[in-house]
Amino acid sequence: LSLWNGLFPSILLCTNPAIQYTMFDTLKGALLQGGEKEEGALPQQQSGRKLSMWEAFLFGLVSKFFATIVTYPLIRCKVLLMVSSPEAFREEE
């Protein structure tokens, strides 16, 4: 069945949100990092500042763009596997 052909790339695509959220938190931490660091405190607790709406939008845009670029070959592979005919996987004798 061609339904199952793209299963493995689909499972690997679960890394897309992980990449996106990790990059978002990294960008946020870099911006909000204060002069004094408290041991074990989160970045927003260190400086007392929060992201503005536009900063959050920009960081989300950049992180989603990066995650999609990194996982695009898997997206392409999944689509090609799912739309291919079953004859494409048969060996010629």
Q: One digit per residue, pLDDT tens: the chain, 93 residues?
A: 566 777 888 888 899 999 999 999 999 999 988 544 555 656 555 557 888 999 999 999 999 999 999 999 999 988 888 887 766 666 665
Cα distances (Å, whole numbers) of residue 65 to 13, 16, 33: 14, 10, 23
For residues 2 and 86, is the Cβ–Cβ distance under 8 A?
A: yes
* pTM of the complete model: 0.70
**CA 36/CA 46 separation, integer angstroms:** 7
Q: Which two tokens stand for residue 40?
A: 């074990």
Judged on CB neighbours under 10 Å (0-12, 13-18, 19+), 78 is buried
